[in-house]
Structures are given as C-alpha cells and as structure tokens.
C-alpha cells in the first residue's frame, strides 16, 4: 500500500469508528447499489474496530494491519451479514444489510435509469451472487444455529489468516499460532458440550462454513465491482481496500 493511502484510510476510519450504527431490521426496503456500498463501508469501520481488539493483529504495524484487513474484509462482511440475517429473519429469500435495507434474491438493485441491455446483464450477475450467498452461506449457517461462542471463534479464525500477502515471516507465524490456538479452543469448547462424535462433526461443519464463506466472499467484491460501475461517485477508501493490488 502506498504511504499516501495508508494515513488517509486510518484517519477516516478513526473519525468514523464511533459513529457506525448497525441496523438489520429491514425496515427501509430493498437496497440499491448506493445502499450496498454504504453498508460495506460501515462493516469496514466495524472490522477496523474489531482488529484493534484481536491480538496479534492489534499489535502489527499499521501497514501490515491494513494488509490483514484488506485480506479478510470480504469474509468478515459476509459473516456479519449472514449471521444477522439468520438472527433477524426466517425469510429464506432475504439478505439483511446493516443500514435497515435488504437484498432480495429475486428483486433487482438497479434503478430504471440504466439501459435495458445493461440492466439485463448486471441483474443476471447480481442474481447469481445473491443466490450463492443465500444457498452456500446463509442456509448452512441457519442449519448450524451457531452459538455466540462459536461465532466469536469463527470470526477470529477468518481474520487470523497467515496466508495474508505482504506481511513478514514473524507476523505470518504469529497469525498462524493464533489461529491454531482459536481452533483448538473451539474444539475444546465443543468437546465439553457434545459427545466426541458430535463434537468432531460440528467442528468439521464449522470449518466447512469458513471455507464456504471464503469462497463466496469473492462475490462480495464482485458485487462491489458491479456497483462501482453504476455509481459515479465511488468511495475511494473502499476502492483502495478492495481493489488495490499492493496487498
């Protein structure tokens, strides 16, 4: 990441971190592209706050912390959205967003101002993204019915990714050790509440959910790219975090 972009990102997040409000009640109706972009920005601020409480990420240099955040932002955003959707609605067609809007698997996020040809292509791509989120993440998460402790572990496992690019060997080792520690703690937690067979099965299903979220989270970035094409004033901070190639 360039020296110019790093202070800019840190300053904006610092000024916003105490203002972020999350509302998953779906009271404001179907989201459009601008709503979706704003929601990802809110979750980015939430991730910055979270990373400052999660060791060893909290102790990394500012530049390495940005690389870690960039690496796990799509997964983190998808996890929060999926968990809150499961928690707040039984409607299998909805994806709840943190600003009171929602995405519907069968309803467009595009306004009629876009040409019919472009609407058809983008709607098809967005419908595929929404189906993948609902079927591959939200549905299995609903079946698992994660406890609060399991959710805490799941969130940490996704963020403590030792495969993050552009961090040094020491930081990679720290993340690897921390992730393994969380996974061991999760298995111990499950073993204390279930039979050995049930604990092993549930542990495996939770790790499979991690893999599904990682796979489908590329759709979060893909949907951001689609929205980026339609919004004249795209968010430079999100652009830098999601599409910058330095990390």
| Per-residue pLDDT tens digits for 118-173 | 667 777 778 888 999 999 999 999 999 999 999 999 999 999 999 999 999 999 99
pLDDT in tens, 192-236: 999 999 999 999 999 999 999 999 998 777 777 777 766 545 566
Residue 195 is given by DSSP the state -
> Distance between CA 157 and CA 54 in Å, rounded?
11
Q: Are 176 and 162 in contact (CB under 8 A)?
A: yes
What pLDDT score was predicted for residue 202?
A: 98
Q: 234 CB contacts (<8 Å, ≥6 apart)?
A: 37, 228
pLDDT surpasses 80 at 69: yes
What is residue 66's predicted lDDT score, i.e. its pLDDT? 93
Domain locations in the chain as residue ranges? 5-17+28-243
pLDDT for the residue 38: 87
Residue 77: what pLDDT? 94
Residue 13 has pLDDT above 60, yes or no: no
Does the domain spanning 5-17+28-243 belong to CATH 1.10.565.10? yes
In the predicted structure, residue 181 carries a pLDDT above the cut 60: yes
Mean pLDDT value across residues 233-246: 62
CA 164 to chain centroid: 16
DSSP-based three-state secondary structure for 169: helix
pLDDT tens sequence across 76-119:
999 999 999 999 999 999 999 999 999 998 887 766 655 566 66
Q: Is the pLDDT of residue 16 over 50?
A: no
Question: Do the beta carbons of residue 79 and residue 50 sit within 8 Å?
Answer: no
**Amino acid 15: pLDDT:** 45
Instruction: Say what the alpha-carbon torsion angle 15, 70, 44, 203 is, to the nearest 10 degrees.
Output: -140
What pLDDT is stored for residue 86 in this prediction? 98
The pLDDT of residue 24 is 97
Checking if the pLDDT of 3 tops 80, the result is no
Above 80 in pLDDT, residue 39?
yes
pLDDT at 7 over 80: no
């Amino acid at each position: 990441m360039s020296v110019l972009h790093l202070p800019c990102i840190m300053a904006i997040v610092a000024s916003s971190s105490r203002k972020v409000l999350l509302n998953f009640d779906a009271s404001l109706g179907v989201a459009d592209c601008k709503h979706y972009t704003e929601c990802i920005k809110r979750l980015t601020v939430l991730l910055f706050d979270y990373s400052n409480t999660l060791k060893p990420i909290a102790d990394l240099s500012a530049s390495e912390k940005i690389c870690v955040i960039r690496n796990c932002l799509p997964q983190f955003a998808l996890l929060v959205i999926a968990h809150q959707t499961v928690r707040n609605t039984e409607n299998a067609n909805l994806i709840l967003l943190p600003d009171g809007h929602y995405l519907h698997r069968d309803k467009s996020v595009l306004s009629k101002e876009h040409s019919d040809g472009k609407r058809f292509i983008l709607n098809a791509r967005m419908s595929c993204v929404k189906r993948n989120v609902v079927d591959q993440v939200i549905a299995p998460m609903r079946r698992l019915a994660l406890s609060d402790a399991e959710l805490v572990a799941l969130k940490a496992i996704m963020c403590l990714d030792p495969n993050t690019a552009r961090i040094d060997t020491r930081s990679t080792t720290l993340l690897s050790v921390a992730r393994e520690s969380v996974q061991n703690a999760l298995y111990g937690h499950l073993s204390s509440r279930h039979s050995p067979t049930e604990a092993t099965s549930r542990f495996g299903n939770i790790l499979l959910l991690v893999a599904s979220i990682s796979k489908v989270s590329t759709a979060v970035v893909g949907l951001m790219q689609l929205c980026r094409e339609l919004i004249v004033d795209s968010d430079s901070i999100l652009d830098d975090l999601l599409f910058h190639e330095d990390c």
